[in-house]
Amino acid sequence: MYNLLKGKRGIIFGALDENSIAWKTAERVHEEGGTFVLTNAPASIRMGTIDKLALKTNAQIIPADATSVSDLEHLVDEAVQILGGKIDFVLHSIGMSVNVRKGNHYTNENYEFTEKGWNVSALSFHKVMQVLYKKEAMNEWGSIVALSYMAAQRVFPDYNDMADNKAYLESIARSFGYFFGKNKKVRVNTISQSPTATKAGHGVKGFDDFIAYSDKMSPLGNATALDCANYTVTLFSDLTKKVTLQNLYNDGGFSNMGVSQEILDHFKE
């Protein structure tokens, strides 16, 4: 390890189980010398195994509904107190679609479900940053990262309203990132990750088939959850102090491909 995050403090949202990107990121941050608090919605904490991660990384868990400003205010206050100072890094790894869970087609959305998913998956990112901004809780040259997916730019029919949520998430990163950078010297970026075998990912129809397709399309193959964790660590580190307002692809090259020989060979069979 390189001690890239020695002395840095943070908040990691969204660790659920050992397959989640937030979980892998927490492990890597710990290995690189960073300290942090873990947070998730109370229901997600009950569903997952975050206690195991907290024990392994010597982190405290602070339950918080990321759609609730009051919960976020309490989270930030507690994190600063527990960690002994202002925050250097934040990972927003939250996303859900009730329409996907219920099997509602994109052309037949339940709009109450749509609004709930948008609030959790995208607007919560604005709320997190607004609380951090107003409380002046971030250190200068801090780093905020949210996880996205290429469906924000291109059509993936079964990704449903999550594609809209990710597009909004990326816009928030740019818009709020301007003010955070200009006024607080804090950088804000999103990572557009390969389809990854997490609990949330498996909720998307045909997900296993799409993982296989993406792997064949990508010159380097799909990026794993650990690959994403490693990339996130670099964005939290001082090595990327001038990288902000970016949507950064961590997808083995998929985003720049038109077609691959492996896919063409498949259709020849």
pLDDT (tens digit per residue) in 126-167: 999 999 999 999 999 999 999 999 999 999 999 999 999 999
Classify 9-268 by CATH class.
alpha beta
Band of residue 104 on the pLDDT scale cut at 50, 70, 90? very high
The verdict on whether 106 is a catalytic residue reads no
Six-digit token pair at 129? 């940053």
Q: What is the mean pLDDT of the chain?
A: 95
Handedness of CA 213, 219, 220, 223 (dihedral sign): negative
Neighbours of 123 (CB within 10 A): 17
pLDDT of residue 164: 98
Q: How far apart are CA 8 and CA 32, in angstroms?
A: 10
Q: Helix crossing, 21-31 with 50-57: angle to 10°?
A: 10
**Residue 197 confidence class, pLDDT cut points 50, 70, 90:** confident
pLDDT of 42-84, one tens digit each? Answer: 999 998 899 999 999 999 999 999 999 999 999 999 999 999 9
Binding residues for NAD(+): 14, 20-21, 94, 166
pLDDT at position 203 is: 57
- The C-alpha atoms of residue 114 and residue 87 are separated, in whole angstroms, by 32
Q: Pick the more confident residue, 9 or 202.
A: 9
Residues annotated in a binding site? 14, 20-21, 94, 166
Residue 178 known to be catalytic: no
Domain extent listing, the chain = 9-268
Residue 205 is predicted with a pLDDT of 63
Let me know how long the chain is: 269
